[in-house]
Amino acid sequence: MKHRENYSLNIKRRELYGLIASIFAFGLAATLPIFNTGYVLSLGVTIVMYTVLSTSWALFSGPTHYISLATAAFFGIGMYIVGGGLEIYSFPILIAIAGCVGAILAALIGLATLRLSGVYFVIFTLGLSELIRQLVTWAQTTMGTSSGLYVLIDVTESQIYWELLTIAAFVFLIGWCINRSKIGFALKIIGNDEKVARHVGINTAAVKIVLFMISGSIASITGAILAPRWTYIEPTIAFSPMLSFLVVIMALIGGAHRLWGPILGVIPFALCWDFITAKFPNQTALMLGLAFLLIVYAIPHGFAGLGEKYWGKFKHWRDFRV
Amino acid sequence: MDIVIVGILLGGAYALMAMGLQLQYGVAKIMNLANGEMLVAGSFAAFWFFTSAQVSPLLAILVVAPMAFIFNWLVYKIFMRYLVKKARSEGQLEVNSILSTFGQSFILVGLMLALFGGEYFSYSYLEKPYTLFGQPYELNRVVAFLFAIFFCCVLYFWLNRTRLGLTLRAVSVNPEASGLVGIDVPNISALAFGLGGAVTAVGGSLLSMFLTFDASVGVIFTMKALVIVIMGGVRDIRGTILVAFILGLTETAVASLIDPGLTLAAAYLLFILILLFRPEGIFGKRST
Amino acid sequence: MSNSVALSFQNVTKNFGGLTAVDKVNFDIRDNEVFGLIGPNGSGKTTVLDLVSGLLRLSSGKIISYDKKISGKTSAQIARRGVSRTFQLVRMLPTLNVKENIASGGVFGFRRYRRKELDRKVNYMMSQVGLTGKGMLPITMLTYIDQKRVELARALMSDPKIILLDEWLAGLNPTEMKIGINLISGIRYEGRTVVVVEHHMEAIRSLCDRCIVMNSGQTIAEGKPNEVLNDERVISAYLGVGNA
């Protein structure tokens, strides 16, 4: 029988195994730059980046079912903070600033839209990165002379990879803590029935905003870390709406209802995406479209849900066979 | 004065586009995020008819509208009906229809890219000056505006004066109760969805007479239509039309006074203000 | 027993567009009484509960609970003040099990439990409402009455001062009804104020200290159940004017 614990109970043996396995996996992943610093590493950076973004996206959107398309906005802001601030502050400080700015922006978006229906939220976040991109482009062309910013800092691909991996570990840790905390329990209730949630005394708006802030802040930090990967950043790179869509698809294909779900979507989809963009650059939109339809019509709970279903069947078969 | 007239001329086509979305969202309860792609498809169709056979875009509408209707009707029957049946709650239907229509919009973009390529398209039809209040305007804008207004009026009167229109409005207000009084809600929803698609595609054909477009520009129009529908109050057609003109005016004003790159930013600023101060829309009733 | 007023309705009005669902209603519910709200369908009873619990906003007037205004506050704030409720159609949390469904009531509300205490309280509530041994079941496997029990337990988890029961007895068979009535009368001996919306007259008679009858958004009679239910206006409201 499927059963999840209250937020209050102690660590179970299964969770301990999970913890050990994750530490092992992270350790293994961290050795990648030793073996390859070329194509495989750059693919690794992409995968870890999408793991961070999708997992933190699912922290908020998994339980609440709000589809946020603001990832690109947060990401781009993080990137621009590094691009614009390198002459004044050091890189680590800028990453911290990016995290704070992301959180503040998320709080503002949340205050304006989260009390309304989900459609408003989607539309608002969909347009947000576009809006910010237009404003940044306009500001750069009217005030400055160029359309982009140089990020001249000596950071290797391996360093970026390790930094992202650290953030990924951090995201999983946060997710794990949330799941076991009071706020995680509140989120489960909100995801089930918001009306009940309010009537048992949960300040639903506050819970949602806090989660959205965490998610937005992580996306900004990710953008900041990745800024040195491009030596020259432009609004079209930093605020690419495609990023938001990819994050949504990967998280949902993997399964947004589990902490470990999105990563199941990230790895296959990122590989596919890499292949498609290299071989059939004109068919990327088609592939995105098909992925969305796949999520809705074939695997509504993602690979994680699919796996759980068959695991359940297998256990049933194992336990009850004569 | 110049800004006002250009803005109003633009608003006409916006009104048509938003009414299409409103039919789909209001009656069929599907927030169709592929709406903008339908519009671009209408533009491409008009472009194709004009460049390959020298057929006037205004005549092309006669083909575009029924094609778009059938296409959207099928989309509803095949994709959306399944979601409506499967949904256990309104929220679930909302999330699924958002994801599904996103998928459709990307597929449409992919198909249009494959058919026409990624360049910008435009054609010159009726590019003559036309004098209005002592100022010259492009004739194609004026004609497109007149046609848009004509279609808006037809749609408005059809909804308010005919039996079928009344049925549509009934479903929009309360689908369950409509079902109880003998209205075939699934079919009416499909009809509204198809009709909405047709109206939007016609809007696209009209817009293509004076705007440059490309295969992936649809999402911008989707957002504009959404902003208009939400600002106007989801159920009120008069609100939609008024807001379409407000948006046309705002965009024109921002484009000519500040920067043409900021038109969407202007639309969003309006949207944010509405969300903050009147989330039920300008004409919407305050819900409880 | 103190004489303070648990809930005081002062000119409470609620409009839905052109329809006035609750029309300038004035009455008091005393501390620690079982108070019945009765009336034909559509008379505004559930709306009154929705107004108290903050699900709906008042159009005008105010609601005061123990000398503090609660109208205008959010549902969550009202719940934290010690007002909890059940819903006319049971609202379960389908992905959580029975224990978690019940626990949800006692973590964020008026009285908050943690860890061991929470577990103990949940077990206690389950034994109170008769769900012992069903804690680990998925909520969807429960029968209707058991779901109603879960909802009651959830509402009681936070030790509310006032509990609002919206047709909690509706849909139960006669045996279950007796169990249900016993359950509800047990609540008042824990020192809580109980507000029930019911259609079942026997239940009203055996449960309530006082009740109020609503019709078309207005209160038409108030008093002890036996007096009120024999009132001519009440009978005509239920049977229709022509039949009175």
What is the residue-wise DSSP string for B236-253? -HHHHHHHHHHHHHHHHH
H or E element that contains C53: none
Is pLDDT larger for residue B127 or for residue C28?
C28
Beta bridge partners of residue C83, listed in sequence order: C162
Contact A62, A75 (CB under 8 A): no
Contact A64, A208 (CB under 8 A): yes
Beta bridge partners of residue C28, listed in sequence order: C8
Contact C24, C51 (CB under 8 A): no
Q: DSSP label at C216?
A: T
Does B92 lie at the interface with C, CB-CB under 8 angstroms?
A: no
The reported pLDDT for the residue numbered C242 is: 47
Is pLDDT larger for residue B286 or for residue C17?
C17
Our CA dihedral for C56, C61, C65, C71, rounded to 10 degrees, sits at 40
Does C136 lie at the interface with A, CB-CB under 8 angstroms?
A: yes
Model pLDDT for residues C173-204, shown as the tens digit of each residue:
888 888 888 888 889 888 899 999 988 888 88
Model pLDDT for residues C80-100, shown as the tens digit of each residue:
999 999 998 889 998 888 999
Kindly tell me the burial class for residue A228, based on how many C-beta atoms sit within 10 Å of its own C-beta (0-12, 13-18, 19 or more). Answer: buried
> pLDDT confidence of A11, banded at 50, 70, 90?
low
Q: DSSP label at C161?
A: S
Q: How far is C118 from chain B (nearest CA, A)?
A: 31
> pLDDT confidence of A14, banded at 50, 70, 90?
confident
Q: Which candidate, A150, A140, A168, places its Cα nearest to that of A227?
A: A150
- Count of beta carbons in the 10 Å neighbourhood of residue C124: 12
Contacts 24+ apart (CB under 8 A), B60-65: B60/B205, B61/B147, B61/B202, B61/B205, B61/B206, B64/B198, B64/B201, B64/B202, B64/B204, B64/B205, B65/B198, B65/B201, B65/B202
Q: Taking the mean position of all CA atoms in its chain, how far away is CA A192?
A: 22
The reported pLDDT for the residue numbered C237 is: 76
Judge: B285–C56 Cβ closer than 8 Å, yes or no. no
Whether residue A31 is predicted with pLDDT greater than 60 in this model: the reply is yes
Instruction: Number of helices (H) and strands (E) in chain B: give both, helices first.
Output: 12, 2
| Residue C34 within a domain | no
Our CA dihedral for A209, A212, A213, A217, rounded to 10 degrees, sits at -170
Kindly tell me the burial class for residue A52, based on how many C-beta atoms sit within 10 Å of its own C-beta (0-12, 13-18, 19 or more). Answer: buried
> pLDDT confidence of B288, banded at 50, 70, 90?
very low
CA end-to-end span of chain C:
40
> pLDDT confidence of C28, banded at 50, 70, 90?
very high
| Residue C140 within a domain | yes
The reported pLDDT for the residue numbered C243 is: 43
User: Cα–Cα–Cα angle for C79, C85, C91, nearest 5°?
Assistant: 110
Most C CBs within 10 Å: which of A1, A189, A200, as the mutation test of the C interface?
A200
Q: Note the ipTM here.
A: 0.88
Whether residue B184 is predicted with pLDDT greater than 70 in this model: the reply is yes
Mean pLDDT of A267-279: 90
The reported pLDDT for the residue numbered B132 is: 73
The reported pLDDT for the residue numbered A4 is: 45
The reported pLDDT for the residue numbered C201 is: 83
> pLDDT confidence of C240, banded at 50, 70, 90?
low
Judge: B275–A287 Cβ closer than 8 Å, yes or no. no
| CA–CA distances in Å: residue A175 to residues A215, B5, B161, C140 | 10, 54, 56, 27
Is pLDDT larger for residue C134 or for residue A282?
C134
Model pLDDT for residues B101-142, shown as the tens digit of each residue:
999 999 999 999 988 888 888 887 777 777 777 777 788 888
Is pLDDT larger for residue B223 or for residue C78?
C78
| Residue C84 within a domain | no
Mean pLDDT of A149-177: 90
- Helices in A144-240 by DSSP H: which ranges? 157-180, 182-192, 194-199, 204-226, 235-238
Kindly tell me the burial class for residue B240, based on how many C-beta atoms sit within 10 Å of its own C-beta (0-12, 13-18, 19 or more). Answer: buried
On average, the pLDDT of chain C sits at 88
- Chain B hits for C57, CB-CB cut-off 8 Å, are 288
Which distant-in-sequence residues (6+ apart) come within 8 Å of B113 by Cβ?
Answer: A282, A283, A285, A286, B215, B216
> pLDDT confidence of B34, banded at 50, 70, 90?
very high
Does B86 lie at the interface with C, CB-CB under 8 angstroms?
A: no
- Chain B hits for C56, CB-CB cut-off 8 Å, are 288
Contact C93, C101 (CB under 8 A): yes
Whether residue A209 is predicted with pLDDT greater than 60 in this model: the reply is yes
Judge: C57–B288 Cβ closer than 8 Å, yes or no. yes
> pLDDT confidence of B284, banded at 50, 70, 90?
low
* Residue in C closest to B286 by C-alpha: C17
Q: Looking at domain A13-320, which of 1.10.3470, 3.30.2310, 1.10.10, 3.30.530 is its CATH number?
A: 1.10.3470
| Residue C169 within a domain | no
Give CA–CA dist A60/A64, Å, rounded.
Answer: 6
Mean pLDDT of B272-284: 72
- Count of beta carbons in the 10 Å neighbourhood of residue B163: 7
Q: Which two tokens stand for residue C125?
A: 């509530």
| Residue C125 within a domain | yes
Query: What are the domain boundaries of chain B?
Result: 2-277
Q: How far is B18 from chain C (nearest CA, A)?
A: 26
Is pLDDT larger for residue A254 or for residue B125?
A254
Q: Which two tokens stand for residue B205?
A: 């054909």
Whether residue A77 is predicted with pLDDT greater than 90 in this model: the reply is yes
CATH fold, domain B2-277, is ABC transporter involved in vitamin B12 uptake, BtuC (1.10.3470)
Mean pLDDT of C148-169: 92
Mean pLDDT of C206-232: 87
Mean pLDDT of C153-171: 91
Model pLDDT for residues C2-26, shown as the tens digit of each residue:
558 899 999 999 988 778 899 999 9
Beta bridge partners of residue C20, listed in sequence order: C15
Does A136 lie at the interface with B, CB-CB under 8 angstroms?
A: no
The answer for A234, left when phi > 0, alpha when psi is -120 to 50, beta otherwise, is: beta
Q: Which of C74, C108, C119 lies at the smallest CB-CB distance from A200?
A: C108
Mean pLDDT of A292-307: 89
Q: How far is A273 from chain B (nearest CA, A)?
A: 15
Judge: C110–A9 Cβ closer than 8 Å, yes or no. no
> pLDDT confidence of A175, banded at 50, 70, 90?
very high
Q: DSSP label at C138?
A: B
Judge: C79–A185 Cβ closer than 8 Å, yes or no. no
> pLDDT confidence of C241, banded at 50, 70, 90?
low
The reported pLDDT for the residue numbered C180 is: 87
User: Cα–Cα–Cα angle for A261, A267, A48, nearest 5°?
Assistant: 90
Model pLDDT for residues B168-182, shown as the tens digit of each residue:
989 988 888 888 888
Q: Taking the mean position of all CA atoms in its chain, how far away is CA B149?
A: 13
Q: Which of C97, C109, C138 lies at the smallest CB-CB distance from A201?
A: C109
The reported pLDDT for the residue numbered C14 is: 92
Q: How far is C170 from chain A (nearest CA, A)?
A: 20
Q: Which of A118, A122, A134 lies at the smallest CB-CB distance from B91?
A: A118
Q: Which residues span the domain enclosing C135?
A: 90-160
Whether residue B165 is predicted with pLDDT greater than 50 in this model: the reply is yes
Whether residue A217 is predicted with pLDDT greater than 90 in this model: the reply is yes
Q: How far is B246 from chain A (nearest CA, A)?
A: 19
Our CA dihedral for A206, A207, A210, A216, rounded to 10 degrees, sits at -110
What domain count does chain C have?
Answer: 1
Helix, strand, coil shares of chain A, percent, nearest 5, are 80, 0, 20
Mean pLDDT of A130-159: 81
Model pLDDT for residues B21-32, shown as the tens digit of each residue:
999 998 888 889
Q: Which C residues, 42 through 71, put their C-beta within 8 Å of a C-beta on chain B?
A: 56-57
Mean pLDDT of A258-284: 89
Q: Which of A2, A9, A201 lies at the smallest CB-CB distance from C79?
A: A201
Angle between helices A241-254 and B90-116 (to 10 degrees): 130
The reported pLDDT for the residue numbered A3 is: 41
Judge: C96–A182 Cβ closer than 8 Å, yes or no. no
Whether residue A72 is predicted with pLDDT greater than 90 in this model: the reply is yes
Order across the sheet with C5-16: list the strands. Answer: C19-30, C5-16, C60-65, C68-69
Which distant-in-sequence residues (6+ apart) come within 8 Å of A163 by Cβ?
Answer: A225
Q: Which of A3, A7, A189 lies at the smallest CB-CB distance from C93?
A: A189
On average, the pLDDT of chain B sits at 87
Q: Which of A200-204, B140-144, C40-44, C216-220 has the highest mean pLDDT?
A: A200-204
Contact C145, C170 (CB under 8 A): no
Give CA–CA dist A152/A84, Å, rounded.
Answer: 11
Whether residue B67 is predicted with pLDDT greater than 50 in this model: the reply is yes
The reported pLDDT for the residue numbered A322 is: 57
Q: Which two tokens stand for residue B142?
A: 């004026």
Q: What is the DSSP string of B185-235?
A: HHHHHHHHHHHHHHHHHHHHHHHHTT--B-TT-HHHHHHHHHHHHHHH-TT
